[in-house]
Protein backbone atom coordinates (compact mmCIF):
# COMPACT_ATOMS: atom_id res chain seq x y z
CA UNK A 1 0.00 0.00 0.00
CA UNK A 2 1.03 3.60 -0.34
CA UNK A 3 1.83 4.90 3.14
CA UNK A 4 0.44 8.30 3.93
CA UNK A 5 -1.08 10.60 6.48
CA UNK A 6 -4.63 9.35 5.77
CA UNK A 7 -3.81 5.85 6.99
CA UNK A 8 -6.91 4.10 8.35
CA UNK A 9 -6.36 3.13 12.00
CA UNK A 10 -8.95 2.11 14.57
CA UNK A 11 -8.56 1.29 18.27
CA UNK A 12 -11.57 -0.38 19.86
CA UNK A 13 -12.12 1.72 22.99
CA UNK A 14 -13.83 -1.21 24.71
CA UNK A 15 -10.39 -2.78 24.99
CA UNK A 16 -9.17 0.09 27.14
CA UNK A 17 -11.63 -0.86 29.87
CA UNK A 18 -10.11 -4.34 29.89
CA UNK A 19 -6.55 -3.08 30.28
CA UNK A 20 -5.21 -2.65 26.74
CA UNK A 21 -3.48 0.69 26.30
CA UNK A 22 -1.18 1.86 23.55
CA UNK A 23 0.40 4.64 21.54
CA UNK A 24 0.55 4.11 17.78
CA UNK A 25 2.17 5.97 14.91
CA UNK A 26 3.72 5.67 11.48
CA UNK A 27 7.36 6.26 10.63
CA UNK A 28 7.63 7.16 6.96
CA UNK A 29 10.78 7.31 4.86
CA UNK A 30 13.19 5.65 7.29
CA UNK A 31 16.66 4.83 5.94
CA UNK A 32 18.14 1.91 7.86
CA UNK A 33 21.52 2.45 6.21
CA UNK A 34 21.82 6.03 7.44
CA UNK A 35 23.72 5.23 10.66
CA UNK A 36 26.82 3.00 10.77
CA UNK A 37 25.94 -0.46 12.14
CA UNK A 38 28.56 -0.21 14.87
CA UNK A 39 26.84 2.90 16.28
CA UNK A 40 23.52 1.09 16.54
CA UNK A 41 25.21 -1.97 18.02
CA UNK A 42 26.90 0.25 20.62
CA UNK A 43 23.55 1.72 21.63
CA UNK A 44 21.91 -1.71 21.93
CA UNK A 45 24.92 -3.10 23.83
CA UNK A 46 24.59 -0.30 26.36
CA UNK A 47 20.91 -0.97 26.94
CA UNK A 48 21.45 -4.71 27.32
CA UNK A 49 24.28 -4.14 29.79
CA UNK A 50 22.06 -1.83 31.80
CA UNK A 51 19.24 -4.36 32.20
CA UNK A 52 21.31 -7.50 32.85
CA UNK A 53 21.15 -6.81 36.59
CA UNK A 54 17.35 -7.14 36.57
CA UNK A 55 17.30 -10.07 34.12
CA UNK A 56 16.79 -12.48 37.02
CA UNK A 57 13.92 -14.96 36.95
CA UNK A 58 12.50 -14.00 40.38
CA UNK A 59 12.65 -10.27 39.58
CA UNK A 60 11.01 -10.82 36.20
CA UNK A 61 8.18 -12.84 37.76
CA UNK A 62 7.44 -10.16 40.38
CA UNK A 63 7.80 -7.07 38.21
CA UNK A 64 4.42 -5.25 38.02
CA UNK A 65 4.65 -4.39 34.32
CA UNK A 66 5.46 -7.91 33.16
CA UNK A 67 2.85 -9.23 35.62
CA UNK A 68 0.39 -6.72 34.16
CA UNK A 69 0.69 -8.34 30.74
CA UNK A 70 0.16 -11.78 32.25
CA UNK A 71 -2.96 -10.49 34.02
CA UNK A 72 -4.12 -8.91 30.77
CA UNK A 73 -3.87 -12.28 29.05
CA UNK A 74 -5.95 -13.87 31.82
CA UNK A 75 -8.63 -11.23 31.21
CA UNK A 76 -8.94 -12.54 27.66
CA UNK A 77 -8.71 -16.19 28.81
CA UNK A 78 -5.53 -16.86 26.86
CA UNK A 79 -5.08 -20.59 27.45
CA UNK A 80 -1.31 -20.92 27.85
CA UNK A 81 1.01 -19.94 30.69
CA UNK A 82 3.97 -19.76 28.34
CA UNK A 83 2.59 -17.03 26.07
CA UNK A 84 4.58 -14.11 27.47
CA UNK A 85 4.42 -10.53 26.28
CA UNK A 86 7.08 -9.50 23.78
CA UNK A 87 8.83 -7.45 26.45
CA UNK A 88 8.97 -10.33 28.95
CA UNK A 89 10.19 -12.69 26.25
CA UNK A 90 13.06 -10.30 25.55
CA UNK A 91 14.23 -10.00 29.13
CA UNK A 92 13.91 -13.76 29.64
CA UNK A 93 16.19 -14.12 26.60
CA UNK A 94 18.70 -11.79 28.24
CA UNK A 95 18.41 -13.75 31.49
CA UNK A 96 19.21 -16.97 29.64
CA UNK A 97 21.74 -15.80 27.04
CA UNK A 98 23.02 -12.41 28.18
CA UNK A 99 21.89 -10.59 25.03
CA UNK A 100 18.94 -10.11 22.68
CA UNK A 101 18.65 -11.54 19.15
CA UNK A 102 20.23 -9.16 16.66
CA UNK A 103 17.85 -9.07 13.71
CA UNK A 104 18.33 -5.77 11.88
CA UNK A 105 18.88 -2.08 12.59
CA UNK A 106 15.31 -0.93 13.21
CA UNK A 107 14.20 -4.10 15.00
CA UNK A 108 17.24 -4.02 17.27
CA UNK A 109 16.52 -0.43 18.30
CA UNK A 110 12.87 -1.04 19.17
CA UNK A 111 13.79 -4.21 21.07
CA UNK A 112 16.29 -2.18 23.08
CA UNK A 113 13.61 0.39 23.91
CA UNK A 114 11.30 -2.44 24.96
CA UNK A 115 14.01 -3.63 27.36
CA UNK A 116 14.38 -0.11 28.76
CA UNK A 117 10.68 0.57 29.23
CA UNK A 118 9.27 -2.97 29.78
CA UNK A 119 6.52 -2.02 27.29
CA UNK A 120 5.74 -4.32 24.37
CA UNK A 121 6.86 -2.73 21.12
CA UNK A 122 6.47 -3.72 17.51
CA UNK A 123 6.98 -2.46 13.97
CA UNK A 124 5.25 -3.63 10.80
CA UNK A 125 6.24 -3.01 7.21
CA UNK A 126 3.54 -0.82 5.66
CA UNK A 127 4.40 -2.06 2.18
CA UNK A 128 2.85 -5.40 3.20
CA UNK A 129 -0.32 -3.95 4.77
CA UNK A 130 -3.34 -4.43 2.51
CA UNK A 131 -5.73 -1.98 4.17
CA UNK A 132 -6.04 -0.19 7.47
CA UNK A 133 -5.13 -1.64 10.86
CA UNK A 134 -7.58 -2.23 13.69
CA UNK A 135 -6.89 -3.16 17.29
CA UNK A 136 -9.93 -5.26 18.17
CA UNK A 137 -11.24 -8.61 19.31
CA UNK A 138 -10.67 -11.53 16.99
CA UNK A 139 -13.61 -13.49 15.60
CA UNK A 140 -11.68 -16.62 14.61
CA UNK A 141 -12.28 -15.97 10.91
CA UNK A 142 -8.99 -14.09 10.50
CA UNK A 143 -5.83 -15.52 8.96
CA UNK A 144 -2.62 -15.61 11.01
CA UNK A 145 0.85 -16.73 9.89
CA UNK A 146 3.24 -16.16 12.81
CA UNK A 147 6.69 -14.81 11.98
CA UNK A 148 9.12 -17.67 11.49
CA UNK A 149 6.39 -20.33 11.31
CA UNK A 150 6.15 -22.70 8.36
CA UNK A 151 2.35 -22.54 8.16
CA UNK A 152 -0.53 -20.32 9.30
CA UNK A 153 -2.16 -21.06 12.65
CA UNK A 154 -5.84 -20.99 13.63
CA UNK A 155 -7.02 -17.77 15.24
CA UNK A 156 -8.66 -18.10 18.63
CA UNK A 157 -11.84 -15.95 18.88
CA UNK A 158 -12.14 -13.46 21.70
CA UNK A 159 -8.49 -12.41 21.93
CA UNK A 160 -7.35 -8.92 20.98
CA UNK A 161 -5.10 -8.50 17.99
CA UNK A 162 -3.73 -6.08 15.45
CA UNK A 163 -5.65 -6.81 12.29
CA UNK A 164 -5.10 -5.76 8.68
CA UNK A 165 -8.03 -5.83 6.30
CA UNK A 166 -9.04 -4.06 3.12
CA UNK A 167 -12.51 -5.56 2.72
CA UNK A 168 -11.57 -7.75 -0.25
CA UNK A 169 -10.77 -10.95 1.63
CA UNK A 170 -10.17 -12.48 5.03
CA UNK A 171 -8.70 -10.04 7.53
CA UNK A 172 -5.23 -10.95 8.71
CA UNK A 173 -3.78 -10.80 12.21
CA UNK A 174 -0.43 -9.02 11.96
CA UNK A 175 0.21 -9.31 15.70
CA UNK A 176 -1.42 -11.75 18.13
CA UNK A 177 -2.09 -9.89 21.38
CA UNK A 178 1.17 -7.98 21.95
CA UNK A 179 3.07 -11.26 21.75
CA UNK A 180 4.00 -12.34 18.23
CA UNK A 181 3.76 -10.64 14.87
CA UNK A 182 3.11 -12.08 11.44
CA UNK A 183 5.46 -13.21 8.72
CA UNK A 184 3.61 -10.97 6.29
CA UNK A 185 4.56 -7.63 7.85
CA UNK A 186 7.96 -8.39 9.39
CA UNK A 187 10.49 -5.59 9.08
CA UNK A 188 13.57 -6.21 6.93
CA UNK A 189 16.64 -3.98 6.44
CA UNK A 190 14.97 -2.69 3.24
CA UNK A 191 11.81 -1.51 5.05
CA UNK A 192 11.23 2.25 4.86
CA UNK A 193 7.67 2.82 6.12
CA UNK A 194 6.44 1.23 9.35
CA UNK A 195 3.45 1.03 11.66
CA UNK A 196 4.70 1.32 15.25
CA UNK A 197 3.15 -0.29 18.34
CA UNK A 198 3.93 0.78 21.91
CA UNK A 199 1.59 -1.17 24.19
CA UNK A 200 1.12 -1.25 27.94
CA UNK A 201 -1.42 -2.67 30.35
CA UNK A 202 -3.35 -1.73 33.49
CA UNK A 203 -0.08 -1.44 35.43
CA UNK A 204 1.31 1.23 33.09
CA UNK A 205 0.04 4.80 33.13
CA UNK A 206 -0.87 6.60 29.90
CA UNK A 207 2.05 8.92 30.59
CA UNK A 208 4.43 5.95 30.78
CA UNK A 209 3.15 4.56 27.49
CA UNK A 210 3.39 7.92 25.75
CA UNK A 211 6.90 8.45 27.13
CA UNK A 212 7.92 5.04 25.77
CA UNK A 213 6.47 5.97 22.39
CA UNK A 214 8.33 9.27 22.34
CA UNK A 215 11.57 7.56 23.36
CA UNK A 216 11.13 5.07 20.52
CA UNK A 217 10.26 7.57 17.80
CA UNK A 218 13.03 9.94 18.89
CA UNK A 219 15.64 7.20 18.60
CA UNK A 220 14.28 5.91 15.30
CA UNK A 221 14.45 9.39 13.80
CA UNK A 222 17.94 9.91 15.23
CA UNK A 223 19.25 6.73 13.65
CA UNK A 224 17.10 6.42 10.52
CA UNK A 225 15.45 9.80 9.83
CA UNK A 226 11.91 9.81 8.47
CA UNK A 227 8.66 11.48 9.48
CA UNK A 228 6.51 10.43 12.44
CA UNK A 229 2.74 10.53 11.97
CA UNK A 230 0.78 10.05 15.20
CA UNK A 231 -2.28 7.79 14.96
CA UNK A 232 -3.45 7.26 18.55
CA UNK A 233 -2.41 8.33 22.04
CA UNK A 234 -3.06 6.26 25.19
| DSSP structure string for the chain | ----TT--EEE-GGGGGGT-EEEEEEEES--TTSS-HHHHHHHHHHHHHHHGGG--HHHHHH-HHHHHHHHHHHHTT---TT---HHHHHHHHHHHHSS-----HHHHHHHHHHHHH--EEEEEEGGG--SEEEEEE--S-SB--BTT-SS--PPPTT-EEEEEE-SSS--EEEEETTTEEBSTT---TT---EEEEEEE-TTS-HHHHHHHHHHHHHHHHHHH--EEEEEE--
In this prediction, the residues of the chain whose per-residue pLDDT falls under 50 are 1-4
Query: What CATH number labels 9-232?
Result: 3.50.40.10
pLDDT at 169: 67
Per-residue pLDDT, 166: 61
The residues spanned by each domain of the chain are 9-232
Q: What pLDDT sits at residue 7?
A: 87
Amino acid sequence: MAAGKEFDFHFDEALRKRGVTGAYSLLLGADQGRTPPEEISSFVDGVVAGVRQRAVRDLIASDPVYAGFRELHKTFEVPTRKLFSASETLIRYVEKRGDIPRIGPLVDVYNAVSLETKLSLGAHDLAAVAGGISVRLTTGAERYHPVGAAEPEPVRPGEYGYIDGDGTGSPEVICRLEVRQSEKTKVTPATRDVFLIVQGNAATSPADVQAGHDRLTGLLQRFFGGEVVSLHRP
